Structure 1
Amino acid sequence: MDSDYKARKEAFVSNLAGSDIQDINLVTLVAPASVLLWSALQSRLSYFSPYGPAALLTDFLLNVLAILFATTAYSSAPLLLNIFLITPAVLLYLTQPPVRSPQKAKPPRKQNDNKVSAQDETESLPVHPFLTTYRASMMIVTCVAILAVDFRAFPRRFAKVENWGTSLMDLGVGSFVFSAGVVSARAVLKNRASKSPRAAFLARLAGSVRHAVPLLVLGLIRLWSVKGLDYAEHVTEYGVHWNFFFTLGLLPPFVEIFDTLTVLIPSYEALALGIMVLYQVALESTELKSYILISPRGSDLLSKNREGIFSFLGYLAIFLAGRGSGTRIIPRGTSASKSSQQARKSILVSLGLQLMFWSSLFFFNSYYAFGYGANIVVSRRLANMPYVLWVAAFNCGQLLLFCFIETVFFPTVHRSSGKGGEEERTSFATSRILHAFNRGGLAVFLIANLLTGAVNLTIPTLDINTPQAMVILVIYTAILTAVALGMDKANIKLRL
Structure 2
Amino acid sequence: MDAKAYKILHESFMQNNTGTTPWETVLVILPTAVLTILSNCLNIILINVTRNSFLIEFFVLVMPLVLNATVLSESISVSLTVFSLLTSFSVFVLYNYSPKRKLVTFSYLNKHLDISLVITNFRGTVNLITAVCILAVDFRSFPRRFAKTETFGWGLMDTGVGLFILANGLVDPVARNEPVALRKTTKGCFPMLFLGFLRWFSIWWLQYQQHVTEYGVHWNFFVTLAFTRLLSTLLLKIYKRPIFWALICVVGHEVLLQKGLTDFLLSTAPRDNLFLANREGICSLPGYVALHQAAVALGQWLHTKPAHKSINCLATVSSLSATMWLVALLSAPPSRRIANLSYIAWMLGFGGTMLALFVAVHIVSSALGVLCNGHVYMPTILNSINYNSLAFFLLANLLTGVINLSVPTLYVAPLGSLFIISTYMFLTTFTIYKLYLNRCKFKFW
TM-score, structure 2 as length reference = 0.90
TM-aligned CA deviation for residue 149 of structure 1: 0.4
CA shift for structure 1 position 413: 8.7
Matched to 1:84, the amino acid is V
2:248 is aligned with 1:274: yes
Change (3 A) 1:271 1:190: closer
Structure 2: 5+ residue runs without aligned partners? Answer: 102-111
Give, in whole Å, the separation in 1 of the partners of 2:236 and 2:174: 12
Q: Distance in 1 between matches of 2:27 and 2:385?
A: 23
* SS of equivalent residue, structure 2 residue 46: coil
* Pair 1:61 & 2:59 matched: yes
Q: Hey, what does 1:10 align to over in structure 2?
A: 11
For residues 47-446 of structure 1, the aligned pairs below 5 Å read 47-51=46-50, 53=52, 55-94=53-92, 96-97=94-95, 99=98, 128-184=116-172, 186=173, 188-191=175-178, 204-260=181-237, 262-263=239-240, 266=241, 268-285=242-259, 287-331=260-304, 333=306, 343-364=309-330, 366=331, 376-411=332-367, 424-426=373-375, 429-446=377-394
Q: CA deviation at 1:188?
A: 4.2
Instruction: State how far apart, in whole Å, the 2-side matches of 1:158 and 1:452 are.
Output: 18
Deviation string 1:85-135 (CA, Å, 9 cap, x unpaired) is 111222343464274889xxxxxxxxxxxxxxxxxxxxx996632221111
Q: Which has the larger radius of gyration?
A: 1
Letter in 2 for 1:177: I
* Alignment of structure 1 residues 449-460 onto 2, 5 Å: 449-460=397-408
Query: Following TM superposition, by how much is the alpha carbon of 1:481 offset from its aligned partner in structure 2, in angstroms?
Result: 1.1
**Structure 1 residue 310 displacement after superposition:** 1.1
Report how far residue 41 of structure 1 moved.
Answer: 3.1
SS at match of 2:88: helix
Residues 413 and 429 of structure 1 are in contact (CA less than 8 Å); yes or no, is this contact kept in structure 2?
A: no
Contact 2:124/2:382 (8 A) holds in 1: yes
* CA shift digits 1:134-170 (9 cap, x unpaired): 1111100000100010011111111101001111000
Alpha-carbon offset, residue 333 of structure 1:
4.9
TM-superposed CA distance for 1:274, in Å, is: 2.4
TM-score scaled by structure 1? Answer: 0.81
Read off the aligned partner of 1:155 and give its amino acid letter. Answer: P
Contact 2:175–2:298 at 8 Å: present in 1 too? no
Distance 2:383 2:199 in 1: 27
Q: State the secondary structure of the residue aligned to 1:76.
A: helix
Partner of residue 29, structure 2: 28
Indicate the larger mover: 141-150 or 165-174: 165-174
State the 1:393 CA deviation.
Answer: 0.5
Matches of 1:181 and 1:220, distance apart in 2: 23
Provide the aligned length of Structure 1 versus Structure 2: 432
CA contact (8 A) 1:439 1:493 kept: yes
Cα gap change, 1:233 to 1:298, in 2 (>3 Å): closer
Residues 1:95 and 1:454: Cα distance change in structure 2 (over 3 Å) = closer
Report the counterpart of residue 118 of structure 1 in structure 2: none
Equivalent pair of 2:171/2:299 in contact (CA under 8 Å): yes
- Structure 2 Cα separation of the partners of residues 480 and 101 of structure 1: 36
Of residues 405, 418, 426 in structure 2, which corresponds to 1:470? 418
Cα 1:213/1:377, change in 2 over 3 Å: same
Match of 2:213, SS state, is: helix
> Percent of aligned positions with the same letter in both sequences?
29
For 2:351, what is the secondary structure of its paired residue? helix
Q: Closer, same or farther in 2 for the Cα pair 1:298/1:130, shift >3 Å? A: closer
Q: Measure, in 2, the Cα distance between the counterparts of 1:127 and 1:394.
A: 18
For residues 211-261 of structure 1, give each alpha carbon's deviation from its aligned partner in whole angstroms, at most 9, with x where no partner exists: 111110111111110100000000000001101110111123211122135
Q: Check the 8 A contact 2:34/2:361 in 1, yes or no.
A: no
Distance 1:294 1:488 in 2: 46
**Structure-1 separation of matches of 2:142 and 2:213:** 21
State the Cα distance separating 1:437 from its structure 2 match. Answer: 1.3
C-alpha contact 1:211 1:252 (8 A) present in aligned 2? no
> Any conservation in 1 of the 2:384–2:436 contact (CA below 8 Å)?
yes
SS at the partner of 1:19?
coil
SS at match of 2:378: coil
1:272·1:317 contact (CA, 8 Å) conserved in 2? yes
**For residues 439-460 of structure 1, what are the alpha-carbon distances to aligned partners after superposition, in whole Å with 9 as ceiling and x for unaligned?**
1110010011111110111111
Moved more, 351-360 or 274-283: 351-360
Residue 409 of structure 2 aligns with which residue?
Answer: 461
Structure 1 unaligned residues grouped into runs of 5+: 103-123, 192-197, 335-339, 367-375, 415-421
Give the letter aligned to residue 281 of structure 2. G
The secondary structure found in structure 2 opposite 1:237 is: coil
Q: Distance in 1 between matches of 2:50 and 2:277?
A: 51
Aligned-partner Cα distance in 2 for 1:78–1:269: 36
SS in 1 for 2:257: helix
* Equivalence for 1:106: none
